[in-house]
Amino acid sequence: MRFKLFALALAACLFTTSVFAADAQHADPQQVVKETANKVLAEVTLNKTNLEQNPKLIYPLVERLIVPYFDFKAMAQSAMGRFWRNTSDEQQTRLVNEFKELLVGTYATALLGYSGQEIEYPPMNMEAGSDRAMVPTKIAAAGGPPIPVNYRLKLRDNGWMVTDVVIDGISLVTTYRSSFAREIQMGAAKSKGKDRMALGIDALIQTLADKNNSK
């Protein structure tokens, strides 16, 4: 359920970074999200018939609209927590790629289920000139109160980049941090060799790869 909300919430900012990049220093993250949400959701709705007939068409759409504007490396590094400093450059590359594919797959699958849910935009507080922003939204939920979904963004040289999504008070990155730590520790415990930590990290990467390959 949370991943479906994650996907729907992110639909509100699919096209935002094209505006962010155009005037990165002056863009208002919430205003950009609000103004562009309708455009994005309209595109998904417009292509709904084609997507229902061929769900795989959602993947190039996500690759085009989402991937360039998410800081997957920062998200993966944060999700790894203290274990990141123990990863080699090669492991970092593999980890970021598998993590990206996992999130893209989750997003693509959930976005296929979009059925017109509305998004609210509560007031946003942001210090002038700050390079960090928290954009609050609320997703309409059938039979219940709206669910708060907040985006954490960081202003990079090429514009605002999403670094985390907080759904009903639960951080996506923090959730993965717990599961990643568990996988690494389990992998290290099962390993035989001098560098058990590296083997544990390899086990995590393999677990992510297996999940991605099973889609």
What is the reported pLDDT for 27? 66
What is the reported pLDDT for 11? 54
CA distances to 8, 58, 131, 152, 153 from 13, rounded to whole Å, are 10, 16, 18, 12, 11
Q: Bridge partners of 184? A: none
Q: Of 6, 23, 7, 5, nearest to 160 (Cα)?
A: 23
Distance, in Å, from the CA atom of 153 to the CA atom of 175, rounded to the nearest integer, reads: 18
The tokens for 35 are 């103004």
Contact 43, 58 (CB under 8 A): no
Beta pairing, strands 159-167 & 119-120? unpaired
Distance, in Å, from the CA atom of 35 to the CA atom of 38, rounded to the nearest integer, reads: 7
Ordered domains of the chain (ranges, CATH): 2-213 (3.10.450.710)
What is the reported pLDDT for 3? 53
Q: Is the pTM of this model over 0.85?
A: no
What is the reported pLDDT for 15? 39
From first to last of its 215 residues, the chain has per-residue pLDDT tens of 555 555 555 554 443 444 444 444 456 777 666 665 666 677 778 888 898 899 888 888 778 777 777 899 999 999 999 999 999 999 999 999 999 999 888 877 777 777 777 888 898 888 888 889 998 988 887 778 888 988 888 888 877 788 998 988 999 999 999 999 999 999 998 877 668 899 999 999 999 999 999 87
Q: Any idea what the Cα angle at residue 96 is, between residues 95 and 98, rounded to 5°?
A: 65
